[in-house]
Chain A
C-alpha cells in the first residue's frame, strides 16, 4: 500500500501517463497545513462519559456538514477536547485546528477564539471553504454553553 503523502506534487505518479499529467494541485487547492490536518486530524474521537463536562452536536444546514464536540474542564481550563466531523476536507481540517487552539485554554480564552483565528492557524483556506471554519467556532461556543448549563460554576470575573 502506498504511503499517505500530503504532497500532491509527489503522489506516486507512474510513468505510463507521464504525458497526461494533471496540474499538481487538487481542484480546490488546500495548503500543506490543511492537507495535514485533513489526513492526520488532531483530537479525533469522543471523551468517556465520566470525562465529559460538555457535549454538543452542531450542523451546517447550507452544506450538510456536522460536528460533535466534547470537552473536559478542570480548573476553568479545557483539559481535554475531542471531535468528530462529517464533511468536506475544509470541515475536517478546521475542526481539527479548532481543537488544537482550544486545548489547554481557559474557558474565557476559548470564548474568544474566532473563525479568523482558525483560518490563520491553518495558513488560509480557499474562499468558498471559509464557512467551514464557522461551524467549529459555533460548536466551541455551544459546548461551553453546555458546560455552563450543566451547573458548573461560570468563570470568575477578572
Chain B
C-alpha cells in the first residue's frame, strides 16, 4: 500500500469509528429516555466531548490531505466527502445529546400511552438502523446498502408528520402534560433531523464511490 493509500485508509477508519460512536450515542439516548436514566444521560453528554475531538482531528486530517497530497479524481471526491460526512456526524452527536438532556429536564417518566401513539421507539429504532446501514455500506464501499437509508428516511418523515395532530389532541385533553408533550414532539423532530443528516452521509458516500451527485434529486436516488 502506498503512503497515500495508507493515509486515505486511516481517514476512512476514523470516520467509521465516529459513525459507530454516533450510533451508540443515539442508542444510549434512547435507553436513557425509555428508563428515565439520568446517569446514562450524563454519559451521553460526557461522550460528546469525544465526538467533538474526533471531528476536529478528522478536519485536520482532511486539511493535511489537501495541502500535502493534492488529491484528484477519486481521492479528491473521497476527501471532500469525508469533510462533509464528518460535520454531519458531529451534528448527529449534537442531537443525541439534545435528546439525552430531556431526561434531565423531565422530572417524571414519559407518558407511555403518548410515546406509544407517536411511535417514539420506532422513530429511535429506524434512526439507529439508518446510521448502522450507512456505516456498513460505507465500510464495504457498497452503495446498495447505503441506499437503504433513503426509504427509511421516509418512515421518519411520516411519523413526524402524523405526530403533530396526535400531540395536539393529547395536550388538549391533558393540559397537565403539555410540557412533556413539547419535549416529545421536539424529540421526534430531532430524530427526523438525524434521518436527514444520515441521508446526507449516504449521498456523500455515493458521490465519492460513483462520482454521482444525488443531492436534491427527488425520486431517483
Q: Say if A and B assemble together.
A: no
The chain A residues found within 8 Å of chain B, CB to CB, are: none
